[in-house]
Amino acid sequence: MSKDIVSTYDELVDAVQEARYRYYVLSDPGMSDQDFDALFKKLEQLEKENPSLIRPDSPTQQVGPPPGSAFLPYRHLAPMQSLDNAFNREELDDFFARIIQKIGAQKIAYVCEPKIDGVAINLIYRKSVLEKAITRGNGTVGEDVTLQVRTIVDVPKRLNSARNVDLIEIRGEIYFPLKEFAEMNEARIAEGEAAFMNPRNAASGALRQKDPSITAKRPLRFLAHSLGGAYSLEGESTISLNPESFFPSHSDFLAWADQAGFSVPKPIKKAVSSDETWQAIEYFTAERHNFAYEIDGVVIKVDELSLHQQLGSTARAPRWAIAYKIPALEKETKLISIEVNVGRTGKVTPYAVLEPVTLAGVTISRATLHNEDQIHLKDVREGDTVIVRRAGDVIPEVVKAITERRPENLSIWSMPERCPFCHEPLVKPLGEANHYCENIDCPNRVVESLIHFCSKSAMDIETLGEKTIVVLHDMGILSNVADIFKLHVSVPVLENLEGWGSKKIDNLLNAIENSKQKPLDRLLVALNIRHVGSVATKELTAHFPTLDSIRHAGREQLCMISGVGEKIADSLITWFSNKNNSRLLEELTELGVRTDVDIQLKKGDHTAPLAGKTFVITGTFSGMTRDEIKEKLESMGAKTTGSVSKNTTALLVGSDPGGKLEKAISLGVEIMREGDLEKLFAV
């Protein structure tokens, strides 16, 4: 065997070991998930071709890195293994072929479930009472984090189960819910603190706090996905029971865990063939952004537990299960340059111009860098190799520079002193992390304001899109939002635009006219008042039903409103005291834009017909848009949310509903179809 192969092998082992240590112990990965998977696969392939190379300390022979020194070590009663990965259908079919070869050609039932990207944990219950919580560690020895895990609200401290077993191990993942993760990062960015790279790192960091009270401040959650083992105690002896004597199948275990008080993967898909398994993978891939937690794959398990014993395992992974890895949310690419954009409120946002990279099926060439403080905290520089992340509908962001691969003499980036669009000085208010262009006539700020004013969440002038707004602004026809309501005098100009016929012009003018009757809260959202979003405007208009009453409200009155607070109150007072803004409001009023609440029933009115009820809307509706349904429900006193829970009154289901329907069914939540809306709105 050549020295080059041995040298390459040693380098690969060291590189993978270092990456695993940084990922699992330090919660500071030095490469993207996809690049780590590629590196690990390269090591596996080299060992497959040269089996005599394999070292006992090779990562392919281990589950995880050695436990850290922050917590006491604890030896697992049964090994806590990792899973082998499949990256395409061919590798998945190889997994099925190996199982059939081992146990003979027969119909085998599989369970397919979402793979949570969290922190693996082992919970030990003695006589139904939580005794220990142990990290996976190296699969044999983990760390005792019992005090930290006890602070997690959905980890049962006592099992709700009549089953008689002395000792049971429940395995699962601790995760950081996506909604709370996004909110936490937004708050950290606004305060000039470093954002967490991803939910998994945030969960790991919270769990590794020595002080459990710090862990308790993070909204961690637990999801049970596997039975570690069931044991009988006789004196000082611990006797392992056959899992199948306790649960015939993995799906039986999940049903029991659900009744015992655990959150479990939902939905799961059962399959008896490669085609059905692939359909389940396609389903979870399409629905990955509809889960409350982040998923990075689909776990396929043989359902019958007796077959687990027959199939056995390798040194690091069971032969009866595999994880299919779905397209990565993170990738490495090169940061070519850092540019800045000026938004509708004047906020200046730096962004990265990237070498194009495909993430979850979308080509990314730009990603946000949030603000100058974040760039310096992450030490991101033009010319760096960076990790880019895209999750769901969230704007792609640069989460990390790989400084180990940084070319020499890259300069530290700093915010330009002047706005690149109007050349006015940029200002960074005291106590804020963001810079602003204070010039309300800044051309880019005006364009962004116009686009936002017409957007679906604001005045919903659908026909007036971004491209048309840019063209009309460049022609001098749209210089502020009031000009939108004067477009009827510019019909001759519109007729000369490419693709604009009489029907399209009529649709635009009708949309503009209809927008005048939008409720006051939508107008407030459309006006680009800093820090004032849709939640705050609904609370405001519930207390002050006219624009004049809001304008003349004092700071103390505004601060007393739930969801407003000092920052929003100050922003409202500052905006309304600006003479240009006052003139704009007068002009909008003269043009017929409504400035009061157009509903008789306001939020908080306990006499409203749907007061106290909570609805979730999913799918596509033919008669009304989802926003229109939401608006109607809220006008009747109801609350609308984005996720189904036990507190949901009903799920309103249109066509192509996605995963929320199955969750509602599993929780016993009432299902209402489009045909039920008329009856609902008639109460």
Query: In this model, does residue 478 exceed pLDDT 80?
Result: yes
631 has pLDDT over 90: no
pLDDT at site 601: 44
For the segment 558-571, the average pLDDT, to the nearest whole number, is: 89
Q: Which residue has the tokens 């009988």?
A: 232
Q: What is the mean pLDDT of residues 649-653?
A: 90
* Mean pLDDT across 499-504: 90
What value does the mean pLDDT take over residues 21-28? 65
CATH for 443-590, among 3.40.50.11740, 3.40.50.2300, 1.10.150.20, 3.40.50.40?
1.10.150.20
Model pLDDT, residue 394: 72
Domain ranges of the chain: 3-61, 73-325, 330-415, 443-590, 614-681
| Residue 568 CB contacts under 8 Å (≥ 6 apart), including other chains | 531, 532, 536, 558
pLDDT at 24: 62
Give Cα 610 to chain centroid, integer Å. Answer: 30
Going from the C-alpha of 345 to that of each of 12, 179, 391, 516, 576, the distances in angstroms are 49, 24, 25, 22, 14
Contacts of 661-665 with C-beta under 8 Å, sequence gap 24+, read: 661/618, 661/619, 662/266, 662/267, 663/266, 663/267, 664/616
- Determine the average pLDDT of the residues in 593-606: 63
The three-state secondary structure class of 125 is strand
Q: 482 or 656: whose pLDDT is higher? A: 482
What's the chain's average pLDDT? 87
Question: What phi and psi values does residue 495 have, to the nearest 5 degrees?
Answer: -65, -25
Q: What's the whole-number mean pLDDT along residues 649-670? A: 79
- Report the pLDDT averaged over residues 186-198: 85
More confident residue, 77 or 667: 77
Residue 333 burial class via C-beta count within 10 angstroms: exposed 0-12, middle 13-18, buried 19 and up: buried
Most confident of 22-26, 47-51, 308-312, 641-645: 308-312
Q: Name the fold adopted by 330-415.
A: OB fold (Dihydrolipoamide Acetyltransferase, E2P) (2.40.50)
What is the token pair recorded at 601?
A: 């029933």
What is the C-alpha to C-alpha distance for residues 79 and 301, in angstroms, rounded to an integer? 17
CA distance 618 to 672: 11
Residues 385, 351: contact at Cβ < 8 Å?
no
Length of the chain: 683
Provide the pLDDT for residue 144: 94
- Whole-angstrom distance, CA of residue 153 vs CA of residue 68: 25
Q: How far apart are CA 511 and CA 373, in angstroms?
A: 41
pLDDT for position 5: 77
Name which residue leads in pLDDT, 503 or 598.
503
How large is the greatest C-alpha to C-alpha distance in the chain, in angstroms? 94
Q: Are 133 and 144 in contact (CB under 8 A)?
A: yes
Alpha helices in 320-390 (DSSP H): 372-378
Q: How much is the average pLDDT of 562-573?
A: 89
Q: Which of 107, 115, 127, 400 is catalytic?
A: 115
Judge residue 467's burial from the number of C-beta atoms within 10 Å of its C-beta, 0-12 exposed, 13-18 middle, 19 or more buried: exposed
Residue 156 tokens, joined: 């049962």
* CA-based torsion, 448, 454, 457, 463: positive or negative: negative
Which of the residue ranges 96-105, 205-214, 417-426, 661-670 has the most confident prediction, judged by mean pLDDT?
417-426
Give the amino acid at 503. K
The pTM of the full predicted model, rounded to 2 decimals, is 0.67
Check residue 356 and give its pLDDT.
95
Starting at the earlier edge strand, list the strands of the sheet with 321-325. 85-86, 321-325, 295-302, 110-116, 269-271
Are 434 and 373 spatial neighbours (Cβ–Cβ below 8 Å)?
A: no
421: helix, coil or strand?
A: coil
What average pLDDT score do residues 210-238 get? 87
Is the domain spanning 3-61 CATH 1.10.287.610? The answer is yes
pLDDT of 15 above 90? no
Q: Are 640 and 610 in contact (CB under 8 A)?
A: no
The average pLDDT across 515-522 equals: 92
What percentage of the chain has pLDDT greater than the value 90? 48
Place of tokens 């090591």: 43
Domain at 73-325: CATH architecture: 2-Layer Sandwich (3.30)
Question: Is residue 65 scored above 70 in pLDDT?
Answer: no
Which of the two residues, 386 and 543, has the higher pLDDT score? 386
CA 581 to chain centre: 36
Strands 614-618, 650-653: pairing is: parallel
Between 36 and 375, residue with greater pLDDT: 375
Cβ within 8 Å of residue 215, ≥6 positions away: 148, 151, 152, 206, 207, 209
Which of the four pLDDT bands, split at 50, 70 and 90, describes residue 359? confident
602 catalytic residue (yes or no): no
pLDDT tens per residue, range 399-435: 899 998 999 999 999 999 999 999 999 999 888 889 9
* pLDDT, average across residues 249-268: 92
For 112-132, the pLDDT digits (tens) are 999 999 999 999 999 889 999
Report how far residue 57's alpha carbon sits from residue 52's, in angstroms, rounded to the nearest whole number: 14
- Does 602 have pLDDT greater than 50? no
Least confident of 25-34, 316-325, 407-416, 467-476: 25-34
* Residue predicted with more confidence, 608 or 69: 608
pLDDT score, position 245: 72
Statement: residue 392 has pLDDT above 70: no
332 or 678, higher pLDDT: 332
Backbone φ and ψ of 333, nearest 5°: -160, 180
Shared fold status for 73-325 and 443-590: no
**What confidence score (pLDDT) does residue 603 get?**
45
Is CATH 3.40.640.10 the classification given to domain 614-681?
A: no
Q: Beta 141-143 vs 73-75: how paired, if at all?
A: antiparallel
- pLDDT-derived band at 23 (thresholds 50, 70, 90) equals low
